[in-house]
Structure formats: structure tokens, C-alpha cells
Amino acid sequence: MAFDDLELPSVNAKDVVGGSATYSAFAASAFAEVRLVAVVGSDFPDATIAALRARGIDTDGIEHAEGRTFRWAGRYDADLVHRTTLDTQLNVFASFAPKIPDAYRDTPIVLLGNIHPALQLEVVEQVRRPRIVIADTMNFWISGEPALVDSMLKRIDTLVINDEEARQLSGHHNIRRAAKAILGRGPKRLIIKRGEHGALLFDSEGIFAAPGFPLEDVVDPTGAGDAFAGGFVGYLAGQAELSPLVLRRAMLYATATASFCVEAVGTARVATITKSDIAERVTSIRALYEFGAATM
């Protein structure tokens, strides 16, 4: 959980409540009861904790540490795709070691946010036979902790990364070769996020492509990937089985959830979306490729 200073084409916003855990939790809470493990400093607003609770999110796993909350500052290009990190302050995050409350140990669906792979492994150790473990990671760990990233890959079911991270992790530029290489290192499934171009799921059934939803108003892409992951696990939580078909549907719900996230600054929109908002957008996304039987 974090504060972000965002220089966006349309607005500059300071001290915006953010962080992967915040975005993912708000997103998943449209579908399911969420248990949130994260760390905040003494400067973190009670109002956000209250807003999370009001969405049915269990916040007992949030550690309140002495000191300041993690901070990130970034500037987005006019294209809202490229961004430059202006500042990162780890603050209380520097010494964070996730402690899974006893009441959380039987959580069936586990989303490992993008933290040190050693900490991701510790979280996996603390949960009891979940139905599915999904993890995110980033360039910093891929290059800095390759051995631990490899160990992490062996303990998870599904990796969710963006295309650049897939290329870096695999050493292949070609996305299909990259996916094959990564799947050979542990996870059963790989999701590659491609921003406005949607996302690809690679699994034993082949490839599934979720199209990006072309929005007229993109305000702030921050947290879109986390909202995607949150929408994905949230949708799965309500499903009796995690079949390839269900995973494919989850891709559309994830895409829809992320598309709401970018429509407002910070968590403003993702904090209020409902299951029916998301279902309605899934219908719009499906309409993107609707047509009759293709015959010559």
C-alpha cells in the first residue's frame, strides 16, 4: 500500500492512495471476500482502511508500522503508456515481512503482489494448500534475484506479468517463445498483460487473447495491472472449478475491471465498481469480436 504522486497529462495529483495491494483488493472485492496483507505507515489515512472494510475487505492483515508509508512518484507521457519513475521511497516497506494471520491460512486463492521473491515464497509457506497461487513480479527482481524468482516460479500456478517482463524473464523477444520458456520453468499458466492491447493467457489448452477495451477517456493507468489481477482472482473466487474455460472467462472479467481502473485518478473508480458494472463491460468487450460463423 502506498502514496503516489502522479504527473498525468490531464492533472497532477499528490499523495494519492495507491499500491498494488490497494488496487487489487478494491478490484477483487467487487466479486469476493478479500483478505489483505500489506504494510502501511503511521501517515496512512484511516479513511482508506474504512473504505476497504466497507467493501467487505478484511484488513486485519494490514500491518501498521512506525514511520512513513511507501511512496512512488511518476510522470506519464502524453500517450499514457510510457512513464518515468521520479522517486521511490521504500519507508516502512523496506523491512516488511508479510505475516499471514491464522484466520487467513486457509484462503483458497492467493495473489502474491510484486514484492521480493523471497517474501513471496514466505507467503506461500504460510498458506495451506490453496486452490491456486497467482504471482506478479517485475524487472527489478528478474534481474536482481534470478535464482529466487526461479524458486518462486516453481511454487506458483499462474504468473501475471507484462510483455516487457516476459521478454526479460525468458530472454526471448518473441512473445510466444517467451511464454513457452516461462511455462517450462514452473507455472501452469502465464498471463501476459499488454496494456491497451489487452492480455494473453497461455496454458495447456493453448492461447487465449482478451482484447483491450478501447476507452474514450483514459485518465490514469496507475494500478491497472493490479486491478486486472484483482478482477481475475475475484472472478475465480466465485467459480466452483478452475477449468481452462473458467480461466478464459476470468481474463475478460480482469480486462473489464482494469478498464474501469484507468477511468479515474488513483483508486477512485476501482474502489466503487460493482460486479454488475464489470459484467456489463464484459458484454461490451465480447461485442468487440462478435460475428456469425465465418464461412468462405
Positions touching a copy of itself (CB under 8 A) are 78-80, 173-177, 180, 194, 196-198, 200, 206-212, 214-218, 238, 245, 248-249, 252-253, 275, 279, 282, 286-292, 294, 296
CB of 261 to a copy of itself, least distance (A): 16
| Closer by beta carbon to a copy of itself, 124 or else 218 | 218
Q: Which residues pair with 210 in a beta bridge?
A: 199
Q: Which amino acid is at 121?
A: L
| Closer by beta carbon to a copy of itself, 154 or else 173 | 173
Instruction: Please give the Cα distance from 230 to 270 (Å, whole number).
Output: 10
CB of 63 to a copy of itself, least distance (A): 33
CB of 32 to a copy of itself, least distance (A): 11
| Closer by beta carbon to a copy of itself, 104 or else 260 | 260
CB of 225 to a copy of itself, least distance (A): 17
| Closer by beta carbon to a copy of itself, 95 or else 283 | 283
For 139, counting Cβ atoms within 10 Å of its Cβ (0-12 exposed, 13-18 middle, 19+ buried), the class is: middle
| Closer by beta carbon to a copy of itself, 102 or else 217 | 217
Selection from 24, 15, 19 nearest residue 43 by Cα: 15
For 61, counting Cβ atoms within 10 Å of its Cβ (0-12 exposed, 13-18 middle, 19+ buried), the class is: buried
Instruction: Please give the Cα distance from 66 to 197 (Å, whole number).
Output: 41
Helix (H), strand (E) at residue 74: strand 70-76
CB of 72 to a copy of itself, least distance (A): 24
| Closer by beta carbon to a copy of itself, 55 or else 248 | 248
Instruction: Please give the Cα distance from 69 to 65 (Å, whole number).
Output: 8
The three three-digit cell numbers of residue 272, written as one number: 466503487
CB of 131 to a copy of itself, least distance (A): 18
Cβ atoms of 273 and 257 closer than 8 Å: yes
| Closer by beta carbon to a copy of itself, 188 or else 194 | 194
Instruction: Please give the Cα distance from 277 to 24 (Å, whole number).
Output: 17
Q: Which amino acid is at 184?
A: G
| Closer by beta carbon to a copy of itself, 92 or else 265 | 265
CB of 289 to a copy of itself, least distance (A): 6
For 191, counting Cβ atoms within 10 Å of its Cβ (0-12 exposed, 13-18 middle, 19+ buried), the class is: buried
Selection from 264, 259, 224 nearest residue 10 by Cα: 264
| Beta strands, E only, 101-181 | 109-112, 132-135, 158-162
CB of 279 to a copy of itself, least distance (A): 6
